[in-house]
Amino acid sequence: MDIYNGNILRKLLKDADQGGYAVPMFNYTDLWDQMAVIEAAMELHAPIMFASIPKTVNAISPEVLGAVGTVQMKKAASPIIHHLDHAKSVELCIAAIDNGYPSVMIDASDKNLETNIAMIKNVVEYAHTRGVFVEGEIGRIKGRDYEATYDGDDFLARVDDALRLVQETGVDSLAIGIGTAHGFYDGKPEINFKRLKEMKEAITVPLVLHGGTGIPEEDVKKAIRLGINKVNIGTQIRYTYMQSACRLIQEKGPVTHTIDIMTEAKEEIKKVAKAWIRICMADGKAEADLKGQEIQYAES
């Protein structure tokens, strides 16, 4: 599949909004889980995003990940987008853009609103001249980093703040804090659907739901019906990867070739990815008319 920069992602998210489904985004750690989620997308004819978090980028390098991601996008038969997830610095976003990422997220949601806006603007100014898509975040996605400091409605994104951020930055999509959390949940997550509906009525850019792992299927689908266009899944992919690899090593013994272990683990990850593609109602939504388009990547 020939893919060009953020323009395809803009179209994919617009199509998802109009079609009543969401584009799933899967965090990967290495080539094996990356291949698993991409193969799941190919087999279900679905558009997806595959994303590296800063920990992965720092461990491997934006140069290597950018090159591999570009190859994956070029060879895929369905529209897939390589993405940098939860970058905490403008510099990391620039490094990803310079190495071929067509989409980046700058996450300054833990800063005050003015700083958040300023950081997003810096990334947008650099990215948009190179055709790259930018996601921002407002409100807090719960997790270990925030639990000790914030509680209750402190996590929720304010509609007026979100509107100001979008208008002042030109950001392409927005992750919104509506009660979800990174990692596994203790009990049932309490998603504020009222706030989501208010956001959708006020904000024109695509809306993103982070912390997909552990949200009941019916709540994910309700969120999509109310306006979520992209759903992030990370923890469940990593958990499945580690559990499968550990089990297979115990079963096969340490002298088994690495390929034999990882090939089977990949199939387990693929099952999880396929389940999420179906939950997001993205199966069968890959666009055949994207084939054969001339490739255009970010300028270095």
68 with 30: CB under 8 angstroms? no
189 with 214: CB under 8 angstroms? yes
Please enumerate in sequence order all residues whose Cβ is within 8 A of that of 232, keeping only pairs 6 or more positions apart, or say none.
25, 27, 51, 85, 175, 208, 209, 210, 211, 212
Residue among 71, 73, 70, 86 nearest 47 (CA):
73
Q: Tell whether 45 is in a known binding site.
A: no
Q: Tell whether 177 is in a known binding site.
A: no
Q: Tell whether 107 is in a known binding site.
A: yes
Residue among 187, 221, 207, 76 nearest 136 (CA):
207
Residue 182, CB-side half-sphere exposure with 13 Å CA sphere: 16
73 with 4: CB under 8 angstroms? no
Q: Tell whether 213 is in a known binding site.
A: yes
Q: Tell whether 182 is in a known binding site.
A: yes
Q: Tell whether 234 is in a known binding site.
A: yes
Residue in 17, 33, 85, 172 annotated catalytic = 85
Q: Quick check: is 85 catalytic?
A: yes
Q: Tell whether 210 is in a known binding site.
A: yes
Q: Tell whether 235 is in a known binding site.
A: yes
Tokens of 278: 């179906």
Q: Tell whether 232 is in a known binding site.
A: yes
Please enumerate in sequence order all residues whose Cβ is within 8 A of that of 193, keeping only pairs 6 or more positions apart, or say none.
178, 222, 223, 226
| Radius of gyration for the alpha carbons in the chain, expressed in angstroms and rounded | 18
What residues are designated binding site for dihydroxyacetone phosphate? 183, 211-213, 232-235
What residues are designated binding site for Zn(2+)? 86, 107, 137, 182, 210
What residues are designated binding site? 86, 107, 137, 182-183, 210-213, 232-235
Residues noted as catalytic: 85
